[in-house]
Structure 1
Amino acid sequence: MRSKQWTATNQPHLCIFLDKAAVKTRADSPWMLCPVTQVEETKQMMKMLPILIATIIPSVIVAQSNTLFIKQCTTLNRSMGPHFEIPPACLQAFVTIFMLISLVIYDRLFVPTVRRYTKNPRGISLLQRLGIGLTLHVIIMVTACLAERKRLKVARENQIFGKSDTVPLTIFIFLPQFGLVGIADAFVEVAKLELFYDQAPESMKSLGTS
């Protein structure tokens, strides 16, 4: 038996108190009386707030790939051959590369295969896709932790404590976490946009996707 698909309209009436805004009283001010449509749309948006809050942490992790991860890369050995050093920010390109590869694999292989069992046109629900992405973000932080421990261990072993000193460790030790960020984005960001676009009221779709 398939579980009922999540929508913002079939959730418990947690925002039922907003119905009072549509109750006509003696006051004729538009600030004291709202159309039922506006009340229902507001309730629909409020029911999606927990999902929005749950995706704040992944957004923070993505920001780390543009700041902290790059700063860590500047301390490592960036040599590729005797006369060339790659810029630390170049690893950021792997986020986009892995995301594009993941999207192709997801759409062309994963969805058709899973669709046979779930009977869902999307393969899996948007919340399941979001959950996979959140799990990947946990793995990203574990991977980043292990890479940083390795970097600090090598720095201590070689007595490297200066800001401009180079740790004798290849920069590509941070490649897995950049790749995982791209894969996680293919799940979290896409699912988040689709979910808010699908569930947001017609008059608030631009607000939901923003």
Structure 2
Amino acid sequence: MLTIALVDRIGSGLWASVSVLYFTYVSGLSVTQVGTLVATAGAIGIAGAPLGGRIADRFPLTRVLLAVQLLRALASLALLTTNHYALLLAFSAVGSLGDRAASVLTRLYATRVAGADRVRYQAVHRTIANVGWALGGLAAAAALALGTTTAYQWLLAGDALSFLASALLTLRCGEPPSASRIVATSKTPAPATKPASTNPLRDRCFVGLVGWVWVV
């Protein structure tokens, strides 16, 4: 999974460095259109995290992550097929959903596999992810020196290929144990009843903090 994180973030670094330039110079969008596209896709993508977590509770985690990686690859490749604003917005939103879902799924994998060492695992994962972003950014900077439409398109294609490679690597990962998907038998003691979770919306400090972050 750490190798997947490296490959994934290299591709993300390629695209993040040139996405605005791609939409401006290749797709021919205005500054206002690009800003609206990025903001809207990002807002829609927020739903990817809880959606990915819910699906992973019902289906094998590695299979869900595999599907998400393929979805991200298709969304990136689809951007190469059109310059129509509505389609670019739709494909970007799908890609953003996949990005958020993949992020929470990799963290969930770490929690299930590493157990008590999950904090250390996540720290290593974050370090490797940052290295991937840096490598992708350096590669994008070299391509930006060319400043051609073809260079921008190849960077987007590289992003899609990184997701395909991540999907292939995911096939080699074992399925981590999941407490929510363990079948109980007659010999298995019933789990202790958990206390009802506190509604975060009743926490004034939490609501105030979220509101402040949203405004900022």
- Alignment TM-score, normalising by the size of structure 1: 0.42
Higher share of residues assigned helix: 2
* Structure number, greater radius of gyration: 1
